[in-house]
C-alpha cells in the first residue's frame, strides 16, 4: 500500500474512533437537552448506593453514594448518550415534561400477558407505558 493511501486510511479510521471527544457544539446541545431530562433514582440497601437512569434515555445509567452524586453521574451519562445520538444523526427524545401526552389509553390483558409485559419491561429498563409506546410506534411510522 502506498504511503499516501495508508495515510488516508488512517485519517478515515481516526474519525470513527470512539475515544475522541465530541464536537464542542454537539456537547453544548446535548448538555442543554440532557438538563431537561428526568432522572429516576433508587437506593440499593445491599450495596448502600444510589442507582439512576434517565427517564427519556433508560440506557443512560449512573450511580453514587449520595442522591446528588447519583443524579450528577446519571446526567453525565445522559449527556453522552444524547451527544452520541446527535453526532450519529439520530434525534434524541424530547424531554418527558414537554411531551404533552394528554390522552390516556386503557387496555385489558390476561394475568399471563401482564407478567410477560413486566418481564420484558424489567429487561428493557423502561417504564411500562414507554415500553409499549416504543414497541408499537417502532412498528408503524406515524404521519
| Residue 6, SS3 per DSSP | helix
pLDDT at 29: 94
Confirm whether 126 is domain-assigned.
Answer: yes
Confirm whether 110 is domain-assigned.
Answer: yes
Q: Which residues of 62-90 are buried (b: 16+ CB within 10 A; e: fewer)?
A: bbbeeeeebbebbbebbbbbbbebbeeee
pLDDT digit string, tens, across residues 91-103? 888 888 776 666 7
Q: How many domains does the structure of the chain reveal?
A: 2
Confirm whether 11 is domain-assigned.
Answer: no
Confirm whether 133 is domain-assigned.
Answer: yes
pLDDT digit string, tens, across residues 18-48? 567 889 999 999 999 999 999 999 999 999 9
Task: Name the residue range of residue 61's domain.
Answer: 18-93
pLDDT at 4: 46
**CA distance linking residue 59 with residue 84, whole number of Å:** 13
pLDDT digit string, tens, across residues 74-119? 999 999 999 998 998 888 888 887 766 667 778 898 999 988 888 8
**CA distance linking residue 63 with residue 32, whole number of Å:** 21
Tell me: do 64 and 84 sit in the same domain.
Answer: yes
Tell me: do 73 and 132 sit in the same domain.
Answer: no
Amino acid at each position: 500500500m502506498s504511503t499516501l493511501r495508508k495515510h488516508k486510511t488512517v485519517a478515515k479510521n481516526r474519525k470513527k474512533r470512539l475515544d475522541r471527544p465530541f464536537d464542542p457544539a454537539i456537547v453544548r446541545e446535548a448538555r442543554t437537552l440532557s438538563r431537561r431530562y428526568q432522572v429516576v433514582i433508587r437506593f440499593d440497601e445491599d450495596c448502600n448506593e444510589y442507582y439512576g437512569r434517565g427517564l427519556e434515555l433508560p440506557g443512560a445509567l449512573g450511580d453514587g453514594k449520595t442522591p446528588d452524586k447519583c443524579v450528577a453521574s446519571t446526567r453525565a451519562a445522559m449527556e453522552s448518550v444524547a451527544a452520541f445520538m446527535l453526532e450519529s444523526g439520530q434525534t434524541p427524545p424530547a424531554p418527558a415534561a414537554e411531551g404533552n401526552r394528554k390522552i390516556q389509553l386503557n387496555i385489558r390483558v390476561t394475568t399471563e400477558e401482564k407478567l410477560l409485559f413486566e418481564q420484558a419491561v424489567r429487561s428493557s429498563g423502561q417504564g411500562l407505558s414507554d415500553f409499549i409506546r416504543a414497541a408499537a410506534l417502532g412498528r408503524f411510522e406515524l404521519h
